[in-house]
Structure 1
Amino acid sequence: MATVSLSSGVRSALSSLGSTKTEAQQAQFRLATGKKVNSAVDNPVNFFTASGLNDRAGQLTDLLDGISNGVQTIQAASKGLDSITSLVKSLQSTVKQAQNDAASNRPKVTSNVAGGLATTAEATLRNSSQREAALNKLVIDDNGVTANTATAGYQGNLGVATAGAGTNAVQIQAGNTTYSFSFDGTTTLRDLVNNINSSGIATASVGNDGQLTVTGSGSDALTIEAGTLNAGVFAAVAGDNTALFGTADNTAVVASGNSAVRTTLVKQFNDLRDQIDGLAKDAGFNGINLLGGDKLSITFNEKTGANKNKLDVQGETVTATNLGIGSAVDGTATGNDYNIQNDTDLAKAADALTNVLTSLRATSSSLGSQLSVVETRQNFTKDMVNTLTAGADNLTLADTNEEGAKLLALQTRQQLSQTALSLSNQADQAVLRLF
C-alpha cells in the first residue's frame, strides 16, 4: 500500500481540527452530565474527596428517617400525657363535685322521745315554745331515773341518772376522734347542746317539736352515748341514752350518712380512671410506646463504637395504679381506694390527684427536653447533609455557563480549522493547472 504524503499545511490543519473536536466532545459531555469531574481520570483528588463527602451525606440522610421516627414517637407520648392530664383534671372535678355534696352526707342522730323532750302541754305550763321548754330542762334527775315533767314553777328534767362513781358525761366519736365532756345537776339541755357544738366533730340543736338532733361535722359515722367519766375513762350507763334519744336499748346511738349524688359519681370516677390506662396504651408510634415502658434509641451519626452518638429515651409505664390513683368505692375502702362517701378519703383523693398532675408535668417536661434535643439534631443533620453535598458539588460540578461558552468557541474554531484545511488543499490543487 502506497504511502500518501501530506503537506505541512494540511497536516497542521488536520491536527488542529482533531484537537478542537476532542475538546468540543469534552465540553459536550460536561454539559450533558453537569460535572467537570466524572471519573478519577478527570481529577483523582477531587473525585475521591467528593465521593467521600457524598457517601457521608448519604449515610446521614438514611439516619434522618430514624430521627424523624424518633421525633414522632416522643410527640405521640407527649400528646398522650397531655390527654392523660386532661383526664386527671376531670377526676379532680368529680372529686370536687362529691365534696360539694357534703351536706347530704352528714350522719344525723335525732331523738324520738314521745312528745319530744318537752311536750306541748309542758310548753303551755311554762308559757314558752316547746323548743325553749326542752332547752331549759335539767339533764339529771336528782331524785330517781324518771323524767320529771315541767310545771309552771319547775323547769323539769330529762331523767338521766345521777352518777355513782365519777361524774355524768357524754362521749361523741367520729372516725378516730373522740370528745367527752362532763355535766352536773345544774346542767340544762341547752348546756349539753352548747358542749356538743364546741366538740368540733358534731353539732346539736333542738327543733320546734322538742326533739334533740346531733349531726356530724364530717362524713364519718357518728357515735354518741351518755354515761360516766372517771379519771378520763368513759363508761356507758343504762338508761341514759334512752332518756336523751328515746332508744329502745342502752347502747350507743350510731348514725352514718349517705349521699345519692356521691353514689352516682363512683362510676364516673372509675370510668375516667380506666380511660387513663387505655389512653396510655394507645400513645405509641411505629411499635414503640414510651408510656408503656418501652425504650427509644435514636442514632445521630454514622460512626460506630465509642464514636457513635445516640440518645436513649427510657419510657415509663403509665397506669392509674402506677400514678397512685385508687378506685372509688361506695362504702368501706381498702388499700389505695377511696370511699366516696367519706370526706377524709375525698381529701386524700384530691391530694393524690394534685401530686399526679405534678408528676405528669415533670414527665412531660422531660420528654419536651428530649424532643428539643432530637429536633435540634434533626435540623443539624439536614444542614450537614446540605453542607457535604455542596462541598462535593463544588469539587465536581461543571460551570455550565463556562462550558457552554467554551463549546461555542470550539465549534467556531472547528469551522475555522475546516476552512484552513480547505485552503491548504486548494494550494496543492494548484499544481494540476500545469497540466
Structure 2
Amino acid sequence: MAVSLSSGVSNALSSLQSITAQAQASQFKLATGKKVNTAVDSPVNYFTAASLNDRSSQLTGLLDGISNGIQTIQTASKGIDGITKLVSSLQSTIKQAQSDAAQNRPTKAGTALATAAEAAVTSKSLKDIALDKKIGGADATADAATATTSGDVGIDTTTAVKAAVFLKSDTTTYTASFDSTTATVRDVVNEINKSGIATAFVDEKGQLNVKGTGSEEVQFGFGVGTDDTTSQAAAAGAGNANAKIGFATADNVAGTGIKGQAITSAVRSNLIDQYNDLRSKIDDLAKDSSYNGINLLKGDRLSIQFNEKTGKNQTKLDIQGSDVTSDNLGLVKAGNTKLTGQVNFQNDSDLEAATKALTGALTSLKSLSSTFGANLSVAQTRQDFTKDMADTLSTGAANLVNVDANSEAANLLALQTRQQLSQTALSLSNQSEQAVLRLF
C-alpha cells in the first residue's frame, strides 16, 4: 500500500536527493581530475581535447626520431673534426719534408758575372752588380758596370730582341721568353723561379746559381732570338747563350746538365710511412663515424620528420652525406719516385702541390662541416619547437576538460553543508507529523 508523504517531507526529501546527486558528481570530478569525463558532459570540449591530446602524442613520438637525427649529425660533425686534425698532421709532415734535404738538390753555380774592379767603381756588392746587369746592348761585347751604368753580359739586342729560358726535369719542361732589350739578370732569375722546376739566385760572389726542386737532373738553357719562337728554340738547343751568363752550352743537354747529388733524403723517406699512415687513418675515421646505422661521411642519406602529417603536407629535413675518403679529398699516397697519382717526397714541386691539396682538403672539410652545422641548427630548433608545441597542445586540452580542484572542493563543501541542512529539514518535517500522535 502506497504511503502518502506530506508536502514538507516530500520537498525536503527531493532537495536532499538533488544535493546528494550534485555532491556525488562533484566527488567524481575531484577523483578523476576532470570536469569533462565523457562526451555527455560537453561534446565540444571532450572531442576537441581528444584531438589535441592525439596530436600532442604524435608529436611527442616524433621527438625520438629527431633526437636520433641530431645525434647522427653530431657524430658526422665530430668525425669531420677528427679528419681535420689528421689533415693538419699531414701538413706538418709535409713541412718537415720541405725543411729537409736542401743539400740533395741538383745545384750548379756559373762563373762570376761581376768583378772586384766593378765593385770598387760602383761601391756595390758583387751580387747587386750581377743582378743589375742588362742582358745586352748595342753590340756583342760585355760592358763592365760603372758609376753611372749597370753594364751588360754582352748580347747584341739590336736584332736579338727576345730572350728565353729553358728548363727540364724528368718529363716536366718549362720554357718562357721575355723582352731582352730592357731585361736584366734579375729578370732571368725571376723567370727561372716561376718554373717550379728549379730556383735561381745570385750569390755574394756574383755567380748565378740554379738549383732543382727535386732530386732529378735539371737541364738549363738560356737563349736569344728575333722573336719568341727563335729565342725559345735557341734556349733549348745547342745554339744557346749559356756562356753569356756563366753556364756551359751542354748544361741544357740530358746527361750533362745540372746533375747535383743523386742522393735520396733519408729523412724524407722516413716521413713517407708517417704520411701514408695518417692518410689511411682518415679513411678509418670516416668509416667509424656512424650512428644508428647511418654514416653521413660515407654518403648515407638522413631524413628527419618534423610533423605528424603525410604526403605534401609533411615537413622533414633531408641530409645527403658525402663519401669522405683521402682520395676524394685529393690526398694521394706518398713515395720516393715520381709516379702518376703519387707525391714524390724527394721533389720540392710535388711537396708544394701536396701542400695545396691539403689546403684544398681543409677547405672542403670546412664547407662540409658548415653544412652539417646549419642542418644541426635546424634540427635542434625543430626539436625545441616540437617539445613546446606538444606541451601547448596538452595544456590546451587540459584547459578544456580538467577540473579546477579549488573551486570544485569549495563547491563540494557547500553541497555537504546543504546536505546536512536538508537532512535537518527532513527531520523537522517528520517531527511535525509526529505531533499528531500527542492528541491520542
Q: What TM-score do the two structures reach when normalised by structure 2?
A: 0.71
- Superposition pairs of residues 315-394 of structure 1, within 5 angstroms: 315-335=321-341, 337-394=342-399
Return the offset for 1:109: 7.9
What's 1:314 paired with? Answer: 320
Deviation at 1:222, TM superposition (A): 2.0
How many residues align structurally? 342
Provide the secondary structure at the position in 2 that maps to 1:284: coil
Q: CA deviation at 1:57?
A: 0.6
Q: CA deviation at 1:216?
A: 3.1
Given that 1:98 and 1:340 are in contact with CA atoms closer than 8 Å, whether structure 2 keeps it comes out as yes
Check conservation: 2:107, 2:212, Cα contact below 8 A: no
Residue 76 of structure 2 corresponds to residue 77 of structure 1 = yes
- Structure 2 residue identity aligned to 1:49: T
The change in CA–CA distance for 1:352 and 1:50 in structure 2 (over 3 A counts) is: same
Please list every run of 5 or more consecutive structure 1 residues that lacks an aligned counterpart in the other structure.
111-170, 180-194, 206-213, 237-243, 245-249
Contact 1:108 1:256 in 2 (8 A): no
* 1:289 is the counterpart of 2:284: no
Deviation at 1:252, TM superposition (A): 2.9
Q: Indicate conservation of the 8 Å contact 1:37/1:47, yes or no.
A: yes
Distance in 1 between the 2:359 and 2:199 partners?
29
Question: Aligned-pair RMSD on alpha carbons?
Answer: 3.3
Hey, what does 1:221 align to over in structure 2? 216
Correspondences of 1:405-424 after superposition (within 5 Å): 405-424=410-429
Judging changes above 3 Å, is the alpha-carbon distance between structure 1 residues 178 and 421 closer, same or farther for their aligned structure 2 residues? Answer: closer
Using the aligned pairs only, state the percent identity.
57
**Given residue 83 of structure 1, which amino acid in structure 2 is its aligned partner?**
G
Aligned to 1:268: 274
| Residue aligned with 1:35, SS | coil
**Using the alignment, how far apart are the partners of 1:329 and 1:63 within structure 2?**
52
Q: CA deviation at 1:107?
A: 3.3
Structure 1 position 65, deviation (Å): 1.1
Q: SS in structure 2 opposite 1:322?
A: coil
Structure 2 residue corresponding to 1:252, chosen from 246, 253, 256: 256
Residue 6 to residue 346, structure 1, CA distance change in 2 (3 Å):
same
Give the AA of the match of 2:281: Q
Q: Is the 8 A contact 1:172 1:222 kept in 2?
A: no
Contact 2:283-2:325 within 8 A present in 1 as well = yes
> In 1, Cα distance between the equivalents of 2:3 and 2:430?
14
In structure 2, the CA distance between the partners of 1:203 and 1:57, relative to structure 1 (3 Å rule), is closer
Distance in 2, Cα, partners of 1:224 & 1:300: 67
- The equivalences for 1:109-258 within 5 A come to 173-175=168-170, 176-177=172-173, 201=198, 216-223=211-218, 232=234, 234=237, 252=256, 254=259, 255-258=261-264
Cα deviation digits, residues 326-362 of structure 1 (max 9, x gap) = 0111223222x20111111101100001011111111
> SS of the counterpart of 2:102?
helix
Distance between the aligned counterparts of 1:65 and 1:9, measured in 2? 66
Cα distance in 1, alignment partners of residues 434 and 192 from structure 2: 141
Q: How many angstroms does 1:378 deviate by?
A: 1.2
In the TM superposition, what is the alpha-carbon distance from 1:268 to its structure 2 partner? 0.8
Distance 1:178 1:61, change over 3 A: closer
The alignment partner of 1:287 has SS state of: coil
Displacement of 1:102 in angstroms is: 3.8
Residues 37-90 of structure 1 show CA distances to partners (whole Å, capped at 9, x for unaligned) of 011011001000110111111111111111111111111111111111111111
Q: Check conservation: 1:106, 1:258, Cα contact below 8 A.
A: no
> 1:382 & 1:225 partners in 2: Cα distance?
73
1:64 aligns with 2:59: no
In structure 2, the CA distance between the partners of 1:342 and 1:225, relative to structure 1 (3 Å rule), is closer
Q: TM-score when scaled to structure 1?
A: 0.71
